[in-house]
Copies of this chain bind each other. A is one copy, B any other.
Amino acid sequence: MKRSFIREILESIDEQTISFAGGLPNEKLFPVEDLKNVTQKIFDNPKVLQYSVSNGIKPLREKIAQQYSNEGFPTKAENILITTGSQQAMYIIAKYFELKDITVEEPSYLGAMNIFKLNKLKMQGVKLEEDGIIIDAFEKSFEKTKLAYLIPDFQNPFSSTYSQDKREQIAKIVQKYNGILIEDSPYSELYFDKKNKSISKELPQNSFHLGSFSKTLAPSLRIGWIRASETLIRSIMIIKESIDLHSCGISQHILDEYLKDENRYKMHLQTIRNDYKTKMNFFAQTLEEVLPEFTFTKPKGGMFLYGKFNDLDSFELVQRCMKNRVVFVPGSEFYIDNRKTSEVRFNYSHTNIEDIKRGLELVKASL
């Protein structure tokens, strides 16, 4: 099995290459001073350095649970499992369902697809459209698999968002077949206009809802979580424990201390939203000017813009682009069969305005 194209690129490109490839947050927005200050505080208690519980420290689980409850999705600390990034959340769940069939969107998140392959889940792809997955095809697949992995908000890579109507239909189908929905929501807080309702809210017993601080605070902390019924949380605990005993204690305490000031976090999120919205609009405008042959729909949030060229192989294009020192991820990476496609995923959160312009001109020059 090959490694992630994106991870390999991240590790091999030089400083001069403009990257629209990774899912990197804008590091200029990291709340460095605030994190530095809260980190000082946590060392007052030497126990933060000791082994900890496998499900995660309780005050942090309580704060995450409270956020769900505030949004009308009743949740207790016992419904939360802290994970080493939401990547690990996915791994744990995939391991739990190993060898099973699973319905996934196409295109879908590369990291999840690699995890499913590694744990021998058999993926059935269902086409994704601008307002979400095609419902009839989804039901046909889910009737057999009874397990689905979806990213309803600002999907990676497709940058689409499910309509409220499709969310409700998905919830009904999952209930009808008494199956399980894995709802991956790393980008949900990065909305430009309004927050969407999670599908899991309608499926408290039949869902794993995955969240992360990687896109909202700092990826290197490696803290994500799973929200599920207490029964499901208990079922997957042995896997979490086997993989790393518990997630980084320092990171958990940093986050717990940081989140004590709710207002500070709210303002920080708003700063990110404003920045990404500005960048997305600039990226879209520049695309229209520099690459009019590229068609796309503006995303409503998140970090990615997905679209396609007319009749070219975007995998070949990216090879040419890399020589010209600009990089992005070709759509083929996001399909189960790695099919040839003219589709492309651009990340707009990590690059500055000048590099967006220069980078897209380099893409143009590589066509």
A interface residues (Cβ-Cβ under 8 A, vs B): 1-4, 7, 10-11, 22-25, 27-28, 30, 32, 35-36, 39-40, 43, 46-54, 84-85, 87-88, 91, 95, 111, 114-115, 118, 214, 218-222, 237-239, 241-251, 254
Contact = CB atoms under 8 A, between A and B. Distances in A.
The secondary-structure label for the interface of chain A is: helix
Contacts of A249: 219-222
B243 A91 contact: yes
Contact of A222 (B25, B40, B246): B246
Contacts of A254: 250
A214 B250 CA distance: 13
Given A84-B247, A87-B242, 17 more contacts: A2-B238, A24-B50, A27-B46, A27-B49, A27-B50, A32-B49, A35-B49, A39-B39, A52-B220, A87-B243, A88-B243, A115-B242, A118-B242, A219-B249, A220-B249, A222-B249, A251-B251
Given A24-B50, A244-B85, A245-B7, A250 B238 contact: no
A87 B1 CA distance: 23
Contact of A51 (B40, B50, B219): B219
A39 to B, nearest CB: 6
Number of identical monomers bound together in the oligomeric complex:
2
Given A239-B118, A241-B7, A248 B47 contact: no
Contact of A241 (B4, B27, B35, B51): B4
Contact of A24 (B4, B25, B51, B218): B51
A22 B49 contact: no
Contacts of A219: 49-51, 249
A40 B36 contact: yes
A244 B88 contact: yes
Contacts of A49: 27, 30, 32, 35, 218-221
Contacts of A220: 48-52, 248-250
A44 B195 CA distance: 34
Contacts of A28: 46
A95 B115 CA distance: 12
